Amino acid sequence: MQKPNWIESLSFEEIDARQLEGFFLQKIIQTAQTLAADKGLKIIQNFEPVPLYGVMEKEGWEHFTQKISDDEFHVFFRRVQQEEEKPEKPHTEAPAVHGTHKVPVVIQSATPVVYPILLRLLDSPEIKRHFDVREVKVWQETEKHLGWIVSGKADISFSAIIASANLLGKENDVKLATVTVWDNFYIVTRGYKAQKLSDLHDKEINMPLFRKAPPAQVTHYLLRQFGLNPDELNFVYGEPFGRPEEIARKLINGEIDTALIREPEVSYALHAHPDMHVSFSYSDLWKQLRPESHGLPNAGLVFKGAFTRQHPELTKLFLRATDEAVNWVKANPQEAAFRSFREMEHSLYEVQLFLQRVAFENIPAYRVQNELRDYLGILEEKAARKILEKADELFLEEDFFETTATKA
């Protein structure tokens, strides 16, 4: 494709994403938000950052990508439409829980795993009475939800624990309230069942996301803890990112035989073929290392920090409603499957199987902060140190749970 004329007419702020630690999307989105209208943004990366395109498009940017070599890509962005300035809705005084005014909120989830919980929440009389839910978004492209957190669009998010922790800093104002999804990584194999981790030595292990993403970091950590060298195994990543639903599809079609995937895709794969096996549950491996642990913390409920300060009573109400929704889904898996299988775009039986397997447990983050610190410590050393230094800022304060079922 020919280079467009606008590249020559704009000056560009340059970010070499190869030098960034952790989630590079955060730095890019924040920089884009501060640029003058007549400036563009140039990103250098060692792979084509396709997921970034959709995130930036939603922020009003178009792009042109120039491939310099197989491991160097230059991506140029320019703003094509100025998002209408919406002053934050007056989060002034929080209305009393028995008031008549509804507070507008945007709710999102990084993955489909919490669909049944979300649908039950939205059906809650208390939520309907006190919240004006303007938008609910469940992302297939997990990383896109970060854009909504960084830009402040989402008031309440179901987000991966490590993704939330990576957002810590003065530029972001987030509070991790509860851990809701546990134990959600599995090595699934087709045509054989690995008995021990060393059985994976001669296999291509298809991985979600990219080499420095949380699933890969957790995998490398567990392998090292059980005496294996991750560098001696063959991990395969998608181009440019591995998508869980795409990896599951390849397993089901017989194109691959070994993969790390999550729920609900694990249940879909198990349902699709009788020779599909869960060879390793990361939860089982984690609990071998930490027998006293609740499990492997995967995803939780994240609030915009400003929302919790401006609406403390409504924050407590939402926490209670979430706890009730989680407990209802666990107690009524068949009805929860019936209510959510159409939205999840899979058969009723597949969603029933998913709800039998998934580990929902709504636990306040402050109660499991030592486990969360252990988990966050799996990150690359520099990134982990920065996060752990600020970890106290991440957890929603205990006072918010004084009247919730979760405190008991």
Identify the structural domains of the chain with CATH numbers, from first to last.
Answer: 6-79 (3.40.50.150), 103-182+296-407 (3.40.190.10), 185-289 (3.40.190.10)
Task: Give the E-state strand segments of 86-171 in sequence order.
Answer: 103-109, 131-138, 156-160
Query: In which residue are the tokens 């879909």 written?
Result: 268
pTM (two decimals): 0.78
What's the angle, vertex CA 383, arms to CA 377 and CA 385, rounded to 5? 60
pLDDT in tens, 24-74: 666 787 788 788 888 899 999 887 877 678 778 877 888 999 989 888 899
Residue of 370, 371, 237, 218 lying closest to 295 (CA atoms) = 371
pLDDT of residue 61: 87
Q: Residue 356: pLDDT above 70?
A: yes
pLDDT of residue 386: 67
As a whole number, mean pLDDT of residues 394-407 equals 74
Burial (CB < 10 A; 0-12, 13-18, 19+), residue 101, is exposed
